[in-house]
Structure 1
Amino acid sequence: SAQAGRKCTVNKGSEVREQRPTNGLPLDQVHGILRRSSSFNTGRIEHLYQNPQTHTEGNLKLHYGDLTDSTCLVKIISQVKPTEIYNLGAQSHVKISFDLAEYTANVDGVGTLRLLDAIKTCGLTNSVKFYQASTSELYGKVQEIPQKETTPFYPRSPYGAAKLYAYWIVVNFREAYNMFAVNGILFNHESPRRGANFVTRKITRSVAKIHLGQLEFFSLGNLDSKRDWGHANDYVEAMWLMLQQEEPEDFIIATGEVHSVREFVERAFGRVGKTIVWEGKDEKEVGRCQETGVVHVKVDPKYFRPTEVVSRVSPTICVYMYNARIFMHPVLIPLVCLPLPLHSGNLEMLAILVYIKSIIHICTFDSRNLW
């Protein structure tokens, strides 16, 4: 969100429009950048179109554009003249970045440069506040545990390397042109809008299918991979607060807790009344249902990342969370409180409920304020 009378441009990111600052002031306008697709790809913001306050009154406007097209970025920024820009656009799948390394670099790295340069070209260097979504993947092969803002970077994927360039070009523009530009180093953040190809959604959707008799087993990579999972709503509010500071500064946004993929699998199956016991080791390890004896989880090396990230952020020095709502968004409270429809044939509803009820305890953290 932004203060009343301000315009905010968002390059991707469906959570931003719904946030409100702590002072309760409403948002004037949000302008989003939308990539052209052969099919409609606005599913994550469809509810905003159905809301007269955001759609009919024109508070939300979308523009076709792309981080690989500097001309369109200059055009959009010159027309909108935003006061805040949030760059959340990226090819953000780590494993896919090994297959699309050049594209990832072009969008995630050079795309950030194009956006910053467009601000400069439009003569808005002194009037625009710029937020760059950095990532815990910058740390990669961590040089110290826990990590803090001064921990050396060591990315271990094309995605992390591209984001490293983006991080430093933001710092460069901040120092060279006195631009209010900041990096928010985000650790993993979840919400029901999480893409289906990410591990949390893959697990919960597969568990729902297994419970409905539509699937016998699914395969994962490194079960002991650990992640710091938080909630997207809180992280977006932290993004906004970073742009409300008197001086631009980079911050880590995280919870300070880590959980393994294995733990998430166990929690997800527990939500449908199944207990998973593990047998074997390495690539031969399987997860078997204690109640039925059926193998529901297998390990497949094709899902291993070429290089793995090890991370744990400092819980006291580097973590900022404004308000640990943890899926307590008003829209989600009824869903969390509902019993799971264990005999329902509605896969999508069951999958999202399993997801919410699995992640709700994973994403628990204390409110902290460093500002």
Structure 2
Amino acid sequence: MTKRALITGITGQDGSYLAELLLEKGYEVHGLVRRSSSFNRARIDPIYLHPDNAGRLSLHYGDLTDSTSLTNIVRAAAPDEVYNLAAQSHVAVSFEMPEYTASADAIGAIRLLEAVRQHAPDARFYQASTSEMFGLTPPPQHEGTHFHPRSPYGAAKLHAHWATVNYREAYGLYAVSGILFNHESPRRGESFVTRKISLAAARIAATGSASGATGALTLGNLDAIRDWGYAAEYVEGMWRMLQQDEPADFVLATGVGSTVRDFCELAFSHVGLDWRDHVVTDPRFVRPAEVPELVGDASHAASELGWKATTSVGELARLMVDADLAALGATSSAAAERA
């Protein structure tokens, strides 16, 4: 029989890559889409409208803050697997909107877990946890590392993480958390730092200006160290977590840390530019509580899931810049010649 999967956050970076993966594996995929007056389906519409996916990919309006819509969607989809990827996922924004972040990311996960418990108890449930839950605890961080979140986002995700564990232990649900370290791609939202950097490098190389009044790229803490991998690879790890005989939580990471400054250098040098000529810092972009260093230990995923990240941070920066150049109608070689 054809497996059915429900993906919340299907219009996001991870959701679109996961939908592609599951469709390639022969799944029938259902996705939750938030209603918006602005266009927010650019990542998923090429997949949804592809003739090969007709009748195999269905989209449903709903929201993690609305338990009725979640219950109705779980009933309609009757899923074998549920992937909860939806969230207010911007760390900086969570300081401005802590209550909404908690409602969507923490209580939203509980609303969905409860809908699954009541209406699809045999379904396997994946919760998108995050390395931000480790916060101030020094690396390398793994499944047994102490949690110390430093943002409303990290705290809300930690609530959802423990709720997932609780539903597994209390009700016997096959429920797991994937603790994913930073994973990026050309589909990353433009407000996230890696995409801000790749897009600015491409724009400056192609047009001479990053955008805005100054024509420069404005960033906050350049010394923050993160473990950056390629999102298209990480969704394979998500899927593998739900294929195991017994439910368990896993860290997915590259094991290599790089600073924001490093990512700037990698992206700008790819188009023949010196990042120091184009990047400025502004204290307004520094968060109230910073996380200095996140570097994951994914050895458990390697041994149990057979999963390992293969794209280096340098390769990631280059492919993101190249994608942004292509979208601007330029090429990295031509842009480098003009630089």
- Do the two structures share a fold, i.e. TM-score over 0.5? yes
Q: 1:219 is paired with a residue of what secondary structure?
A: strand
Counterpart position of 1:98: 95
Pick from 157, 163, 176: which aligns with 2:151?
A: 157
* Alignment deviations for residues 61-81 of structure 1 (CA, whole Å, 9 cap, x no partner): 000000011011111111211
SS in 2 for 1:202: helix
* Aligned counterparts, 1:310-321, within 5 A: 310-314=293-297, 316-317=299-300
Contact 1:20 1:237 in 2 (8 A): no
1:16 paired residue among 11, 18, 36: 18
Contact 1:253 1:321 in 2 (8 A): no
Unaligned runs of 5+ in 2: 10-14, 334-339
- In the alignment, residue 236 of structure 1 is paired with which amino acid? V
Correspondence 1:17-32 to 2 at 5 A: 17-19=19-21, 26-32=25-31
**Which of 127, 133, 146 is the aligned partner of 2:128?**
133
Match among 161, 168, 188 for residue 167 of structure 1: 161
Please say if residues 142 and 298 of structure 2, whose CA atoms lie closer than 8 Å, have aligned partners that are also in contact: no
1:186-224 Cα distance to aligned partner (Å, 9 max, x none): 001111110000001111211222221234322111111
CA distance in 1, matches of 2:63, 2:311: 32
Q: Which residue of 1 aligns with 2:337?
A: none
1:115 aligns to what SS in structure 2? helix
Which structure has more helix as a fraction of its residues?
A: 2
- What is the rounded CA distance, in whole Å, between the counterparts of 1:223 and 1:263 in structure 2? 8
Q: Which residue of the partner structure matches residue 326 of structure 1?
A: 311
Which secondary structure state, in structure 2, belongs to the residue aligned with residue 53 of structure 1? Answer: helix
Q: Percent identity?
A: 48
Structure number with bigger Rg:
1
Question: Which amino acid in the other structure matches residue 88 of structure 2?
Answer: Q
Q: Contact 2:167–2:173 at 8 Å: present in 1 too?
A: yes
Q: Residue by residue, what CA displacement relative to the aligned partner does 1:73-95 show, whole Å, maximum 9, x if unpaired?
A: 11111121100000000000000
Q: Which residue of 2 aligns with 1:291?
A: none
Match of 2:172 among 178, 189, 194: 178
Which residue identity does 1:63 align to in structure 2?
A: H
Structure 1 length as normaliser, TM-score? 0.79
**Distance in 2 of aligned mates of 1:321 and 1:207:** 35
Gaps spanning 5+ residues in structure 1: where?
Answer: 277-286, 289-295, 355-371
1:275-317: CA deviation from partner (whole Å, max 9, x where unpaired): 34xxxxxxxxxx23xxxxxxx1111001111112122223645
Counterpart-to-counterpart distance in 2, 1:155 and 1:341: 33
Q: Match for 1:226: what amino acid?
A: I
1:172–1:45: structure 2 CA closer, same or farther, 3 Å change rule?
Answer: same
Q: Which of 109, 120, 124 is equivalent to 1:112?
A: 109
Distance across 2 between alignment mates of 1:315 and 1:184: 11
Instruction: Give the secondary-structure state (helix, strand or coil) at the position aligned to 2:43.
Output: helix
Distance, in Å, in 1 between the alignment partners of 2:166 and 2:226 is 30
| Paired residue type of 2:85 | L
Residue-by-residue CA offset, 1:147-205 (whole Å, 9 max, x unaligned): 11111100000000000110010001000000000000000111111000000111121
Structure 1 residues 274 and 74: alpha-carbon distance in aligned structure 2, compared to 1, 3 A threshold? same
How many residues align structurally? 315
What is the deviation of 1:347? 6.2
Distance, in Å, in 2 between the alignment partners of 1:250 and 1:340 is 34
Residue 28 (structure 2) pairs with residue 33 (structure 1): no
**1:5 matched to 2:7:** no
**2:198 is aligned with 1:218:** no
Residue 146 of structure 1 pairs with residue 140 of structure 2: yes
